[in-house]
Homo-oligomer: A and B are copies of this chain.
Amino acid sequence: MQDIQQNETRATLLVTCKDRPGLVAALAQALYTQGANILDAAQHTDSESAKFFQRIQFDDPELAGPDRDGAMRRLEATVRGVANLHEMDWQLHYEATPARVAIFVSKTDHCLYDLLLRHRSGELRCEIPLIVSNHETLRGVADHFGVPFHVFPVTAETKAEVEKEEIKLLESEQIDLVVMARYMQILSGDFCDHFAARVINIHHSFLPAFAGGRPYHQAFSRGVKLVGATAHYATRDLDEGPIIEQDAISVTHCDTPKDLVRRGRDVERRVLSRAVRAHLERRIVVYDNKTVVF
């Protein structure tokens, strides 16, 4: 079923630092000396903040050799050498070690199905060892795809306690990424800090923006002609985290509030899965509360 093959020799390096001459050469030279072959390199310079960003995907044949651990140590030492010299922040991801993703849901299934189907068809390079919910509703979906389903009922009183248990579960399962696939609970600031830049949320978006409840009804009352969705990393400031993906579709006066909800579902699932895919392909760098998405 998998149409993306995992490649033992492949790795992706993400780098951020102050812009200065010679960065591209320094990284390329270091990887070349290491015996690695660059497959894809993209870079970005934010001229306003004078910051430099680079994503390098490469093959290091030694990673598939008999001493993988030694090869990883040597590779990391090489990168660390350049990084220390140029004061770089860096992450190194090995394709043979796919991210482990937990999906959080409540009662709505459209985003969950979309993620699980794309995972099964090989579009999302990750493991999905568990689904977390505050309701039993979607257990059947989890069963159908063979993913363990954990229910944590939440009340205002138990919320802090429950989150601690959830974090314990996520850590014991070595979860790298939490995807809030229409999980209708607000995560605490502590939770978001704990998994900084590792929780992706999706919410509807309108022009103009609507505060308060029943946003689709507000949008209908205002006669909007566009319905959108925004995927972002969750932060303490609710819905104000770094934006990863956005999209919108046209609606008309014929669309009832129910139609807007339906149209909104289509945008939401599309935007969420694109954001998750970009994260898993290690295309995203977060800085200054915004993102570079290579």
Interface residues of A (CB under 8 A from B): 3, 21-26, 28-29, 31-32, 35-48, 109-110, 113, 117, 121, 123, 140, 144, 205-209, 220-226, 228, 230, 242-248, 250, 252-254, 256, 258, 261-262, 265-266, 270, 288-293
Contact = CB atoms under 8 A, between A and B. Distances in A.
A289 B31 contact: no
A11 B243 CA distance: 32
Nearest to A231: B225
A24 B41 contact: yes
Given A43-B38, A206-B207, A290-B222, A25 B29 contact: yes
Contacts of A209: 207-209
A45 B208 CA distance: 24
A1 to B, nearest CB: 10
Q: Interface majority SS on A: helix, strand, loop or mixed?
A: mixed
Given A223-B291, A248-B228, A44 B253 contact: yes
A258 B226 CA distance: 25
Contacts of A222: 243, 289-290
Nearest to A39: B45
A207 B246 contact: yes
B25 A31 contact: yes
A32 B39 contact: no
A220 to B, nearest CB: 8
A100 to B, nearest CB: 23
The 4 closest A-B pairs by CB, nearest first: A223-B290, A25-B28, A25-B32, A205-B207
